[in-house]
Amino acid sequence: MMKPQDIVILLKKMTPSGQHLSCRKLAESLGMSASSVSESLERCRNVQLIDRNKKRVNTMALQEFLIHGLQYVFPAVTGRVVRGVPAYISASPLKEQISNSSESYVWHYTKGNARGQQIEPLYPSVPGAVLQDEELYQLLVIADTLRLGRAREREIAIEELAKHINRYVENQ
């Protein structure tokens, strides 16, 4: 059975900084244990979201899952107003394209510099991890938009996801 951190790990493996990381380094960059990353990669291999060697993400399958299944399997949960890291439509690449939103959304993080309605991240260490990797940050913002967004926001997120996937495929 898939777990939310599986999505975080797959998205990290799609970033230039995460493509060739060892299991231990991948774990360190995401604030997870090496054993949980190893177990996650095995789950992803079992459902064919990553190749047999656990190196290359199956982008077509992942894209289909993110667009059509993520919101049902790992729905976004919103909460009270807190301090944190901008998320959802309050962060790039969505905030530049959705200018009419007066609401602010964040992943709770005590060291964050923004205030807004809390969105529960896919994994607790996400807010700290995204501050070290801008592309991962954008991919997780896209994922949250696919989890929580309205039709127009989802359309923009799907277009942005396709751009990231194309870059990943070109770099293989």
25 plus 41 within the same structural domain: yes
85 plus 39 within the same structural domain: no
67 plus 81 within the same structural domain: no
* Residue 145 in domain: yes
60 plus 79 within the same structural domain: no
Largest CA distance in the chain: 45
59 plus 125 within the same structural domain: no
Number of domains comprising the chain: 2
57 plus 18 within the same structural domain: yes
Q: Which two tokens stand for residue 48?
A: 């064919």
* Residue 44 in domain: yes
Q: Sign (positive/negative) of CA torsion 39, 45, 51, 56?
A: negative
* Residue 59 in domain: yes
Residues in the chain where the model's pLDDT stays below 50: none
Q: Which domain holds residue 11?
A: 4-72
73-96 pLDDT, tens digit each: 999 999 999 999 999 999 999 988
Residue owning tokens 């231990």? 24
Under DSSP, the state recorded for 95 is: T
The CATH code of the domain that includes 55 is: 1.10.10
61 plus 83 within the same structural domain: no
Amino acid residing at 144: D
Q: What is the pLDDT of residue 90?
A: 93
Question: 107 by DSSP, 3-state: which?
Answer: strand
Task: Calculate the alpha carbon distances from 119 to 72, 85, 146 in Å.
Answer: 16, 10, 13
Q: What is the pLDDT of residue 100?
A: 65
Please tell me the pTM assigned to this model.
0.95
DSSP string, 59-89: HHHHHHHHHHTHHHHS---EEEEEEEEE-GG
66 plus 87 within the same structural domain: no
* Residue 171 in domain: no
Q: Are 105 and 88 in contact (CB under 8 A)?
A: yes
